[in-house]
Amino acid sequence: MSHANAALTPRARLRLARLIVDEGWPLQVAAKMFMVSTVTARKWAARFRSEGPAGMSDRSSRPRSMPAKTPSPVVKKIVKARWRRRLGPVQIAGELGLAPSTVHAVLVRCGLNRLSAIDRVTGEPIRRYEHDHPGALIHVDVTKFGRIPDGGGHRFVGRQQGARNKLETPGLPRGKDHKPRTGTGFFHTVVDDNSRVAYVEEHDDERAETAVGVLTRAIAFFADHGVTVERVLSDNGSCYRSLAWRDACADLGIRHKRTRPYRPQTNGKIERFHRTLADGWAYAKFYPSETERRDALPGWIHFYNHHRRHSAIGAPPISRINNLPGHHS
């Protein structure tokens, strides 16, 4: 494809060359007509004579020889140092006796100039995936948030005032140290791999029967949106290794997959959703009580699914589910 400032497209080059070669136009007249130099007109005419219409296509501007190009063995050493030890251009250049700019150029060509593209554990490039249609895979997990005492939690009012708020909140159980405990909320989350549509429920535990109930209702939620779930991916938590979970997946007709132990990156989409949930809802503003924060959750989930522009897909998650009831009626 011609670059943005090209005076001639392949089609215009062919017309210019035919005027000169086939119809005998003078170089100066033809060049003036197409608003190019006579040198350019002579070049395309000569290429037309030798190669015909095929010679009018674009060619790479890369030189035939590059004596100053970094040798392949050196490139492999640079890449290995970046992958295995996560060294920067200056450190690699010091070890190999190269200029840092040369190392940086090699890393850019190899797509390794940013460490975010390299897995922290293995040092290998991160392999991202996305299933091709909604329902092909859903991610499930549980995240926990400490509950808020009446008057607000310590994140907004400070630890001293937060401790006083706990003491003044009625009905809180006390631990062995006789201090009040607000407790923990277990948020069972489900995210569709393709669309990123999310489903969330809060519970008091993460037992197998609770997880099974959440899965059943999540499947019904996606079914209401015209999505049939085929597979589910979870970590190796006890509730997902239970017989009850296995039987529930079999009854629902979905295949269960588990991540590799100690590899949360495999379930990275839902791990990233947990961060968004914390930043966008749990700790986004001051809540005077746990009840008010809990009441704000359904509205935020609706905003996330229907209105918030997802950075990975460039649109709200619900936009990828194009067969919603009523869309084609």
Q: Give the pLDDT score at 179.
A: 81
Instruction: Write down the residue that tokens 């007709």 correspond to.
Output: 253
Assess whether pLDDT exceeds 90 at residue 256. yes
Q: And the tokens for 2?
A: 């011609």
- 94 pLDDT band, cuts 50/70/90, is very high
At 105, which CATH number? 1.10.10
Q: Give the pLDDT score at 152.
A: 86
The total of structural domains in the chain comes to: 3
If asked whether residues 227 and 150 sit together in one domain, one would say: yes
Q: Give the pLDDT score at 117.
A: 62
**Domain assignment of residue 328, yes or no:** no
Q: Give the pLDDT score at 3.
A: 61
If asked whether residues 216 and 307 sit together in one domain, one would say: yes
If asked whether residues 157 and 102 sit together in one domain, one would say: no
How confident is the model over 292-327, as pLDDT tens digits?
Answer: 999 999 999 999 999 999 988 889 999 998 655 444
**Domain assignment of residue 67, yes or no:** no
Higher pLDDT, 143 or 169: 143
If asked whether residues 86 and 164 sit together in one domain, one would say: no
Calculate the average pLDDT of the chain: 88
If asked whether residues 267 and 190 sit together in one domain, one would say: yes
**Domain assignment of residue 3, yes or no:** no
**Domain assignment of residue 1, yes or no:** no
Q: Give the pLDDT score at 328.
A: 41
Assess whether pLDDT exceeds 60 at residue 127. yes
Q: Mean pLDDT over residues 73-100, rounded? A: 89
Q: Which of 150, 153, 148, 140 is nearest to 201 (CA)?
A: 140
If asked whether residues 189 and 314 sit together in one domain, one would say: yes
How confident is the model over 6-27, as pLDDT tens digits?
Answer: 778 888 999 999 999 999 999 9
Assess whether pLDDT exceeds 90 at residue 219. yes
Element counts in the chain: helices (H) and strands (E): 12, 5
At a CB cut-off of 8 Å and minimum separation 6, what does 238 contact? 208
Say how many C-beta atoms besides its own lie within 10 A of residue 324's C-beta: 12
Q: Mean pLDDT over residues 250-271, rounded? A: 88
**Domain assignment of residue 107, yes or no:** yes
- 115 pLDDT band, cuts 50/70/90, is confident
Instruction: Write down the residue that tokens 């017309």 correspond to.
Output: 15
Name, of 82-96, 97-111, 175-189, the range with top average pLDDT: 97-111
If asked whether residues 158 and 35 sit together in one domain, one would say: no
Distance CA 133, CA 168 (A): 51
Distance CA 213, CA 248 (A): 9
Q: Give the pLDDT score at 301.
A: 96
**Domain assignment of residue 24, yes or no:** yes
Beta pairing, strands 138-146 & 231-234: parallel
Domain with 282, as residue range(s), is 138-171+180-320
Q: Give the pLDDT score at 15.
A: 92
If asked whether residues 230 and 85 sit together in one domain, one would say: no
**Domain assignment of residue 290, yes or no:** yes
How confident is the model over 28-63, as pLDDT tens digits?
Answer: 999 999 999 999 999 999 999 999 999 888 888 778
Residue 256 sits at φ, ψ, to 5 deg, of -100, 130
**Domain assignment of residue 110, yes or no:** yes
If asked whether residues 25 and 164 sit together in one domain, one would say: no
If asked whether residues 146 and 284 sit together in one domain, one would say: yes
